[in-house]
Structure 1
Amino acid sequence: LIVAAVPVALPLILSITLAIGATNLARRGAIISHLSAMQDLASMDLLCSDKTGTLTTAHMTINLEKIWVNDAIKQVKGDFRKEDIVELGALCSTLENAQKNEVEKSVFDALAELKEEGEKRIYDYYKCDGSKGDVYHGFNPNVKRTYCTVTRVEGAPSQFPEHLKITKGLLTKVLNCNQPEDSGSVKWTVQDFKEVEPIAHRIDEVFGQSGYKTLAVAVDVFNEGPEVKMVLAGILPIKDPPRESTMETIKNIRSMMINVKMVTGDHENIARNLAKDINLGTNFIVHEDLWPASEERNERVAKMDGIAQVTPKDKHEVVAILQSQGRVVGMCGDGVNDAPALSLANVGFAVSGATSAARNAADIVLTEGDGGDEGLRVIYRAIKISREIFQRIQAYVLYRFASTVYIILFLAVVVFAFSKYFPPLYVILFAIIDDLTVIPIASDYVVGTPGPSVLNITTILGLSAVLGGLLGAQTILTYWGNPFGMDNQSQEEVATYLQLSVSSQFMIFLCRTEEPFFMTVAPCWSLTIATILSQLVVSVWCGVGVVVDTAIPVDVIVYIWLYSFGGLLVADFLKCEFYHLSNPRLYPNYYYSWMFKCCAKKPKDQFKDMEAGRTVADALPIPPLNRRASLVGLYIQSGDVRNLSVEAQDKVRNILRARCDIERKRAAHRRTMSEIPADRFQRDLKDAGAGDLIVAGADTV
């Protein structure tokens, strides 16, 4: 009894499943830092994505024609050109930083485009000389700017000032360096602040509405001691276009019941413009809206589509707020200061090019995989794979629990209730074959769960009791009632062992799906062959009397197979009923729909690409709805759905749900399609909020 009840292969199968999943994720560009992260990834229901490099290409370029020059700098410096602002920006950086930061790189790329071979420019006449007291403060995510002092090199024209103080960064941080986070740093407010600020912000807003990131540049050319007298020189417009796949990927992630929010340090206008382009939503808040803390603030965070101008502290706060609302949060980050937010998030993603600190704090490190995935698509693929892994694990756990209930119930009743003998050898053979043949489930073809995957212990225990109890009762009847007319006790034991083995082994095909086992994705060849071959071997043993005590007739073996499959069909029916009763909206009454011919046949090619390792979700833009609805005659071709807007897709969802409800009503009353008048059908659809898409007849979307 102990040998049969203990799931010996459970650690092995879990390890193999997770290892295969981690390998697949790595090939797709997502490296797992610990295997438990896959469970969190499968249950994630909210993703906070950064903008640069994930939603966009991260290949930034400065539009030289649209550079804005402040008139005030011309009054101080005289002839001042757009190109000079680029050179000042390059002076306030280093080539080393340009290799790590795309914004800095865009400045040097623009400088290289401006300079002709052998030409001397402002950039060539200055350098940051530490021996002369020059300093350089690199980009700080909190203050969002760089600052440096440079000295004129020997041999430079005398009309150039001997010293320059330069800063570049976020406009608000360049205009006014007297804010609380600037404590301990150099202080300044640009010359003519009251006059310059509204003009500069207006220019910045115009650039932002056009999708440009801006880089403000200010310079002190007065050389009047340690006091800083910055003058706003101008604004550099930088473009970072979205990836071509971003819009479709967001749509696919939403179809998996995951909400996507943008978290960026860029200006609100830039973030909103990008969000509009990728159909993300334009309800944005900014850094100031997060503080002070309040219930109203928490509600705004829950409803927002994104947050702009954030600091690393803001990211940490956003994650904490969303987690307090019961969400399983994924957070993207790349910098040292993002580490606290990545650690706090349920799933931390270190994006491509992240620092060592960010990678160490993250659960998943993103790279570019073999399949050419990049940006948000890597995360989408990782979610799909993790849910498939979860489905495999859940299938095995359900099977293992049901099999344990099955064998314990049988042995307990036979040995303790009827005081009969059942050979221990058969129990040991059953346990060994049962554990070995189910190992291929680690690479089985499955359809990932339509929503966040959460292991429902109550459902698993309840369904295990139903399946194990039914099949156990069937095997007890085989042993106690002798329905096959065996001549002696030894033959009864062999027949019971064969029936026990066949029913238990083929039960795995029931446990791997919530649908009828013959209406879902076909299992992998290795699992199918291992199961059939193992039972053929057991049947041969029983037919020739090898390993077992005695042989049984071949016709009895055939009857046992048919008898076992009959019990499995009944068990499959009860399984579908159990799922339907537990969640009627998610799980239709499959067998009733099938019996009353209310479900249309699935397209033959719907699963034809499964051999290539793909899943149904690759072919369907809204897998949860199409996969369920297809079983009640409501399948909508993927091309029809793909061309609809988000609002239209929501209405399609309403139509599908309304039709599912109507089909269930028809089945419950044992009526055919023609018995419900068309006008009532239309009225039911309108009550569900889907009437606007009904064009002609009940089946037109």
Structure 2
Amino acid sequence: MRTATNPSEAAPPPSPETGPGTASASVPDALAALQVNPELGLARAEVDVRRQVHGFNEVAEQKEHPVLKFLGKFWGLSAWMLELIMLLSLVLGHYSDLAIVGALLVFNAVLGFAQERRAAGVMETLRRRLQVSARVLRDANWQVVPARELVPGDIVRVRPGDIVPADLKVLSGTLSVDQSALTGESKDVDKAGGEVLSSGSVVRRGEGNGVVLLTGAKTYFGRTSQLVQIARPKLHIEAVISKLVRWLFVIVGVLLTVVTVLSLVRGTPLVEMIPLVLVLLMSAVPVALPVMFTVSMALGSKELAKRGVLVTRLSASEDAATMDVLCVDKTGTITMNQLAVTGVIPLENAKESDVLFAGALASQEANQDPIDLAFLAAANTHHVFVGVPAVTPVSFTPFDATNRRTEAVVEQGGRRFRVMKGAVRTVAEACGLRPPAIEALEARVRESALKGYRTLAVARGPEAGTPGLVGLVTLYDPPRPDAKQLITALHDLGVPVKMLTGDALAVACEVGTGVGLPKIRRATDLKAASAQAGNEATDLLAGADGLAEVYPEDKYLVVQHLQAAGHVVGMTGDGVNDAPALRQAEVGIAVSTATDVAKGAASVVLTEQGLTDIVALVEQGRTIHQRVLTWIINKISRTILKSAFVAVAFVVTGQFVVSAFAMLLLTFMTDFAKITLATDRVRPSRKPETWNIGGFVTVSVVLGVVMVAEALLFLYLCWSRFDLAPIDGVKDKPLHTFSFLILLYFAVFSVVSARERRWFWATRPSKSLMAALAVEAIVGTVLALVGLPGLAPLPWGQMLAIFGYALVSCLVVNDAVKVVLIKWRVPDAVA
């Protein structure tokens, strides 16, 4: 059947109603209705025409209306407190406070909404890069395209691990598919020629070609545009923050209880106290935390994407920071994944061309499998198909981990015969060889393995009879030039690498030794150790640099044993059988050649081969961890400073040293300036991180207490000199402005100190953080200089004195206290 190649000459594309009718039609009728030749596929011009009619193969995503998302910013603990303060201001007739608090509430909503939209844009970009791809035949050439570009009539090939990208009618092959996403039934269903594969089902076994019947919203499943939902599961750090905030509420609550009781004893009207009480309680609420987390994770994900690492869950960066062991595939990660035939050993009366001829027939180009491509390339190089009668494929049985070989039945000159290639022992047993002969073959294999070569056997025989062994073929996949260097880099980061490979022990040892992983054991040794009581399996893994002769299902066992030993595990994988291990590991990493199912199970998808991207993932994860840790240290110390300063000063002076409005303004200025911590330039730690941060909490509490003492001491020293004593009938008290500035400058300089675990000058802050802190200080200074309702203007001299005192206190005294405390309580942080 001829496929039109010119849009102006092409027959009208099938209408949207064509698909359902073709589902029950025979294969020839379906192909005729769809106007496609299964041997050539659609022409590019025809694809463009059909896409204009049917659109892209995707389902429009339902998104929340931006207006509703914005209005949602006025709902929540922080928003409720602000709205309550506005209500109280209205009742008390403080209309200026009402207007300013309302403006701050709107500013909070706008800033949070804008930052989350920005982060969502980053994640949307990543989502598009994680879409399903499909192998499609166009213009007589097999190619890989995004599944969203499929149109009715496309000829598609599916293999184990693929998510079926559209509704397909099977043209050839026999497959077993998982339709649980559609029907809820967990039992796999067999599909043969003429049957329909529904979009969204997963190919478990077998492979074949199919023609696309329906795409996008017209498919039975109705959604194929997205492989991985960009989920945001509860992060470990959120649990830590929740616990800290609860304790901060307890501390602030106790202090405020004391203040309230004393206020009532001294006759202060309760209604005048409530706004300040609410604001102090609000100081314990992580107002900017959701935005800071989202921006930090999204910017980290964007940075990783530039380096070839796509995250499918925002938690991946956090998990990578705590990962302390990494299990990696040999092929494509440590080696080049560019197999080449390096030697052919004919057996019996066969010739080299006979071995390559049979091996090439037992391969398929459409699969894009490295071994198949190596055989086909060698056959073409040696011109084994030149001058021989045409060969017609009859059937093909793909590689399976249980049989460890590929088979094909072909027809040539009216006669059918069978060819196969695969593991030497497997093929030799299929050829009926006895143990002595098999052992002799394996001895030859071991000789090649010592050089790092992989050896496969090739056989040929009658369709129904026992085949005969025609030869051995050696292949070589050289280590990546940077593999040893990157493995060393991961070791230096405290992440030992364990190589997992299905190759024989001799091959694994040869490759492992070359890249610095000499201690390789067999997977059977691990299984034997697992069957024994005690810690034999754990000890075996601890002393091994990798495992050889690993089946995909063995990886799950490896992950479980490492986790039982207390490790946070990273695992790379590519096949459908790797999915359980990828899901089980804290950091599941799907390599660039992974199947769709493996990518769906992983939390990270690599776009390039090798270990370079994994090093980047670890470093970026630890960078984000350090930024969040800075926020925690600063939040604890600052909350103690604000609440204890106000409470103790009230007990001593009988005055509220800062107004509710000034404290509210301070809270928003400092909290949202700290959002830029998500961009800060920090040095990732050299060891895996942990959320057991008791030492840092101790440091934070001590720093908070020290800052309270410093602020109270300065208040005492300036009480007379700055004439801060309250004057009856004066509403705008200089005391409020003084306290506002001392808390503001302490906030600015404490961030500069807290961001570095050593002396504050060890690293330079990012430009964004420096700019935000500068703006915060300048705006606060201008407000104090000009004056606002509740903030009386202060002279320049007093403001400079406050500024200098805060600078010396935070960047000299407190920084020294911090360094000493961290060396004592968290020595690893400065290692």
Asked if 2 retains the 8 angstrom alpha-carbon contact of 1:541 and 1:548, the reply is: no
Matches within 5 A, 1:165-184: 165-176=418-429
TM-score with structure 1 length normalisation? 0.74
Q: 1:11 aligns with which of 290, 293, 301?
A: 290
Matching residue of 1:36: 315
Alpha-carbon displacement from aligned partner over 1:88-113 (angstroms, at most 9, x marks no partner): 1111122222x2x1011101001110
Matching residue of 1:549: 791
Alpha-carbon displacement from aligned partner over 1:85-144 (angstroms, at most 9, x marks no partner): 1111111122222x2x1011101001110117x8234xx554332xxxxx4321012332
CA drift of 1:150 comes to 2.9
Q: Distance in 1 between matches of 2:387 and 2:531?
A: 53
Q: Does 1:96 align with 2:366?
A: yes
CA drift of 1:166 comes to 2.4
Q: Does 1:218 align with 2:459?
A: yes
Matches within 5 A, 1:11-160: 11-63=290-342, 66-71=343-348, 74=349, 80-97=350-367, 99=368, 101-115=369-383, 119-121=386-388, 124-129=389-394, 135-154=395-414
Q: Which amino acid is 1:90 matched to? A: A
Matching residue of 2:602: 362
Q: 2:679 aligns with which of 427, 443, 448?
A: 443
Q: Distance in 2 between matches of 1:53 and 1:359?
A: 16
Matches within 5 A, 1:386-401: 386-401=621-636
Q: Which amino acid is 1:105 matched to? A: L
Matching residue of 2:486: 249
Asked if 2 retains the 8 angstrom alpha-carbon contact of 1:392 and 1:512, the reply is: yes
SS in 2 for 1:559: helix
Q: How many residues align?
A: 540
Q: Distance in 2 between matches of 1:283 and 1:298?
A: 15
Matching residue of 1:329: 569
Matching residue of 2:613: 378
Q: Which amino acid is 1:235 matched to? A: L
Change (3 A) 1:439 1:81: same
Matching residue of 1:271: 508
Unaligned runs of 5+ in 2: 1-279, 727-732
Q: Does 1:530 align with 2:809?
A: no
CA drift of 1:416 comes to 4.9
CA drift of 1:152 comes to 3.0
Asked if 2 retains the 8 angstrom alpha-carbon contact of 1:484 and 1:556, the reply is: no
Matches within 5 A, 1:588-667: 628=831
TM-score with structure 2 length normalisation? 0.63
Change (3 A) 1:357 1:549: closer
Matches within 5 A, 1:454-533: 454-482=690-718, 485-488=721-724, 489=726, 490-518=733-761, 520-533=762-775
Q: Distance in 2 between matches of 1:68 and 1:119?
A: 21
CA drift of 1:406 comes to 1.4
SS in 1 for 2:723: coil
Matches within 5 A, 1:222-233: 226=464, 228-233=465-470
Change (3 A) 1:289 1:524: closer
Q: Which amino acid is 2:775 matched to? A: L
Q: Which amino acid is 1:140 matched to? A: D
CA drift of 1:45 comes to 0.5
SS in 2 for 1:52: helix
Q: Distance in 2 between matches of 1:412 and 1:521?
A: 36
Q: Which amino acid is 1:242 matched to? A: P
Q: Distance in 1 between matches of 2:704 and 2:458?
A: 73
Change (3 A) 1:247 1:483: farther
SS in 1 for 2:594: coil
Asked if 2 retains the 8 angstrom alpha-carbon contact of 1:43 and 1:452, the reply is: yes
Q: Distance in 2 between matches of 1:363 and 1:389?
A: 17
Alpha-carbon displacement from aligned partner over 1:304-332 (angstroms, at most 9, x marks no partner): 11111111111111111111101111111
Q: Distance in 1 between matches of 2:420 and 2:404?
A: 11
SS in 1 for 2:291: helix
Alpha-carbon displacement from aligned partner over 1:370-392 (angstroms, at most 9, x marks no partner): xxxx4110111111111111111
Q: Which amino acid is 1:447 matched to? A: R
CA drift of 1:522 comes to 0.4
Q: Distance in 2 between matches of 1:148 and 1:476?
A: 86
Q: Which amino acid is 1:68 matched to? A: I
Q: Which amino acid is 2:387 matched to? A: K
Change (3 A) 1:13 1:547: farther
SS in 2 for 1:136: strand
Q: Distance in 2 between matches of 1:405 and 1:460?
A: 15
Change (3 A) 1:192 1:19: closer
Q: Distance in 2 between matches of 1:39 and 1:583?
A: 20
CA drift of 1:243 comes to 1.2
Alpha-carbon displacement from aligned partner over 1:542-592 (angstroms, at most 9, x marks no partner): 2343455322221221211121122212211111111111244x366xxxx
Q: Distance in 1 between matches of 2:304 and 2:712?
A: 45
SS in 2 for 1:467: helix
Matching residue of 2:447: 206
Q: Distance in 1 between matches of 2:392 and 2:281?
A: 79
SS in 1 for 2:690: coil
**Higher normalized strand content (fraction of residues):** 2
Change (3 A) 1:483 1:251: farther
Unaligned runs of 5+ in 1: 75-79, 130-134, 155-161, 177-187, 369-373, 589-627, 629-701
CA drift of 1:297 comes to 3.2
Q: Distance in 1 between matches of 2:524 and 2:590?
A: 22
Q: Distance in 2 between matches of 1:484 and 1:449?
A: 48
Change (3 A) 1:484 1:9: farther
CA drift of 1:289 comes to 4.3
Q: RMSD across aligned C-alpha pairs, in angstroms?
A: 2.0
CA drift of 1:219 comes to 2.5
- Report which structure shows greater RCO (CA 8 Å, sep ≥6): 1
CA drift of 1:437 comes to 1.7
Q: Which amino acid is 2:749 matched to? A: F
Change (3 A) 1:311 1:386: same
Alpha-carbon displacement from aligned partner over 1:350-374 (angstroms, at most 9, x marks no partner): 1002111111111101103xxxxx4
Asked if 1 retains the 8 angstrom alpha-carbon contact of 2:288 and 2:671, the reply is: yes
SS in 1 for 2:597: helix
Q: Which amino acid is 2:689 matched to? A: S
Q: Distance in 2 between matches of 1:312 and 1:359?
A: 15
Alpha-carbon displacement from aligned partner over 1:523-547 (angstroms, at most 9, x marks no partner): 0122112212321232233234345
